[in-house]
Amino acid sequence: MPLVSPFETSFGRETDRECVLIEVKSEGLTGYGECVATRDPGYNYETTGTAIHILKDFIVPILLGRDVKDAADFQNLVSGIRGHCLAKAGVEMALWDLLGRRENKSLRELLGGVRDKVEVGVSVGIQPSAQNLVKTVADYVGQGYARIKIKIKPGRDVEDASAVRREFPNIRLQVDANSAYSLDDFQVLKPLDELNLLLIEQPLFEDDIWDHHKLQEQFQTPICLDESIVSPRHARYAIEMNACRVINIKAGRLGGLSQAVMVHDLCREASMPVWCGGMLETGIGRASNVALASLPNFGLPGDISASDRYYARDITNERFALNSDSTIDVPRGAGLGMTIDKDALRKFSLATLSI
Ligand code: OSB
Ligand code: MG
């Protein structure tokens, strides 16, 4: 699906998104889920290719013809498959949608959400220049986004962030490095601590919780972990090691909404604020994110923007719009509360596999 504008991060530049959409049929009902794997293994080792392989050869054969009682039962059934969280999460999402439709309950109700609308921000990719970035940010601020996240990478960090901060002294601003630095870059990163940022997201290696602890010790600004938190266990490690002061929750990275709720609950007990990350989802994945972000401990605005920030045409009939208070409404319909625009789906489909 073509993005309305290219999205550049420290691991690459995307002009379109390859998506794996999952349709699960049971008892005459259909549930939809989105696997957030991308074409290239830049954010995570999984790709759309590995996800299709794991789905087709391992996850689906376990589920076919089986009675799956709930999310815990699903997690138990796929527990023999090591890793591949993005693939598992896509199926779990479809099962939640199916469950909601059967019980006539919204995903928000099923997960225990407490809000009708959630606070959101926008994640701005690396632009050709700092000047360009300031212009792009100004455009989003003009649209009503009250929290801005900018992507950084070596050579495009302090200067970019400072330029945005100079232009917008009071805006809620945060940066995301997507694992582009090591502890040796401490001197390069340290000036970020003077910019009154909400948080610095995943500066160091994706598997390095301990070095984030060392970095956090020397920063006033909260460090936030994204890539590093791949399970509730990893969230506990990060809490116990004081590796961060905020956690970005993505159901995909954690292996499913049920795991995301576990991390939410764990962080609530530890008084660690969380917020909902994004993966440039279609309307399906976005509906899931919005419902998840309605849980009580989501205290910071999510990377959940209006549909028009991502796609001129989405695959759902319903589109998400930004309210004047920088929020997005939580869907009320059964399950994800979304319906598929069949024409759009046909138009964008590269391949279909029926099992
Ligand atoms: O690190 O949060 C990230 C998109 C793809 C992969 C990783 C990330 C992101 C974003 C975009 O920041 C968030 C969004 O969906 O708006
Ligand atoms: Mg991130």
Task: Looking at the CA of 279, name the nearest ligand.
Answer: 1
Q: What is the pLDDT of residue 331?
A: 98
Neighbours of 5 (CB within 10 A): 13
Q: Is 277 in the pocket of ligand 1 (CB under 6 A)?
A: yes
Q: Is the pTM of this model over 0.95?
A: yes
Write down the catalytic residue from 135, 250, 342, 347: 250
**Which region holds residue 112: left if phi is over 0, alpha if psi is between -120 and 50, else beta?**
left
Q: Determine the pLDDT at residue 15.
A: 97
Are 114 and 96 a contacting pair, CB within 8 Å?
Answer: no
* pLDDT tier for residue 329 given thresholds of 50, 70 and 90: very high
Task: Give percent of the chain with pLDDT exceeding 90.
Answer: 100
- Binned at pLDDT 50, 70 and 90, residue 74 comes out as very high
Say how many Å lie between the CA of residue 102 and the centre of ligand 2.
34
Using alpha carbons, select from 136, 20, 134, 96 the residue that is nearest to residue 292: 96
For the question of residue 214 being annotated catalytic, the response is no
Both tokens assigned to 6: 């290219």
Closest listed ligand to the CA of 200? 2
Structural domains of the chain, with CATH: 2-104+339-348 (3.30.390.10), 110-329 (3.20.20.120)
In the prediction, which pLDDT does 350 show? 96
Index of the ligand 1 atom closest to the CA of residue 122: 16
Give me the mean pLDDT over the 62-79 stretch.
97
What is the mean pLDDT of the segment spanning 309-316? 98
3-state secondary structure of 186: helix
Which residue in the list 69, 149, 151, 347 is annotated as catalytic? 151
153 carries an active-site annotation: no
pLDDT value for 224? 98
C-alpha–C-alpha distance, residues 189 and 168, integer Å:
20
Residue 189 makes CB contacts below 8 A (sequence gap 6+) with 157, 158, 181, 200, 203, 215
Q: State residue 22's pLDDT score.
A: 98
Mean pLDDT of the 301-329 span: 98
Ligand 1 atom closest to Cα of 14?
Answer: 5
pLDDT digits 0-9 by tens, 84-132: 999 999 999 999 999 999 999 999 999 999 999 999 999 999 999 999 9
Q: CB-side exposure of 231: number of CA atoms within 13 Å?
A: 11
Average predicted confidence (pLDDT) for the chain: 98
Question: Position of tokens 């909902």?
Answer: 276
